[in-house]
Amino acid sequence: MDISEIGGEFALIERLAKEPVSKNIIKGISDDAAVIKVGRSYIVLTADTMVEGDHFSLEYFTPQQIGEKAVEVNVSDIGAMGAKPGYFLVSLVLSEKIQVETIENIYKGMRQAGKKYRIEIIGGNITHGKQLIIDICMIGEARKENLKFRSSAKPGDYIMVSGDLGSSTAGLNLFLKNIEGFSKVKKKHLEPQAKFYKVEPFLKYINAMIDVSDGLASEVKRICEQSGAGAILYADSVPIKPETKKAAIICGKNALEYALYGGEDFELVYTVSKENSGRVKGFKVGEITHKKGIRIIKNGKEELIKKHGYDHFLT
What three-state secondary structure class fits 66?
helix
Cα torsion at 192, 85, 224, 6 (round to 10°)? 70
Cα torsion at 2, 136, 65, 101 (round to 10°)? -100
Q: CA nearest 160: which of 215, 209, 194?
A: 209
Side-chain-side CA neighbours of 108 within 13 Å: the count stands at: 10
Q: Does 130 bind its own copies (CB under 8 A)?
A: yes
Stretch that binds its own copies, among 36-44, 168-176, 222-230, 256-264 (CB under 8 A): 36-44
Give the separation between CA 313 and CA 50, rounded to whole angstroms.
Answer: 15
Give the total of residues touching its own copies (CB under 8 A): 69
Q: Does 145 bind its own copies (CB under 8 A)?
A: no
Which of 60, 107, 202, 283 touches its own copies (CB under 8 A)? 107
Q: Does 86 bind its own copies (CB under 8 A)?
A: yes
Q: Does 155 bind its own copies (CB under 8 A)?
A: no
Give whichever of 189 and 241 is closer to its own copies, judged by the CB atom. Answer: 189
229 phi/psi in degrees, rounded to 5: -135, -175
Cβ neighbours of residue 18 closer than 8 Å, sequence gap 6 or more: 29
Give whichever of 124 and 155 is closer to its own copies, judged by the CB atom. Answer: 124
Stretch that binds its own copies, among 83-91, 143-151, 160-168, 279-287 (CB under 8 A): 83-91
Stretch that binds its own copies, among 6-14, 178-186, 254-262, 264-272 (CB under 8 A): 6-14
Give whichever of 11 and 250 is closer to its own copies, judged by the CB atom. Answer: 11
Q: Does 176 bind its own copies (CB under 8 A)?
A: no
Which class for 46: exposed (0-12), middle (13-18), buried (19 or more C-beta within 10 A)? buried
Amino acid at 130: K
Stretch that binds its own copies, among 86-94, 176-184, 231-239, 277-285 (CB under 8 A): 86-94
Residue 259 has a CB neighbour count (10 Å cut-off) of 28
Q: Does 146 bind its own copies (CB under 8 A)?
A: no
Task: Confirm if 59 and 102 have CB atoms less than 8 A apart.
Answer: no
Give whichever of 57 and 131 is closer to its own copies, judged by the CB atom. Answer: 131
Q: Does 100 bind its own copies (CB under 8 A)?
A: yes
Give the separation between CA 24 and CA 261, rounded to whole angstroms.
Answer: 35
Site for its own copies, rule CB under 8 A: 1-3, 5-6, 9, 12-13, 15-16, 18, 20-22, 25, 28-29, 33-34, 36, 38-41, 43, 45-49, 51, 53-55, 86-87, 89-91, 93-94, 96, 98-101, 103-104, 107, 111, 120-131, 133, 135, 137, 139, 141, 312-313
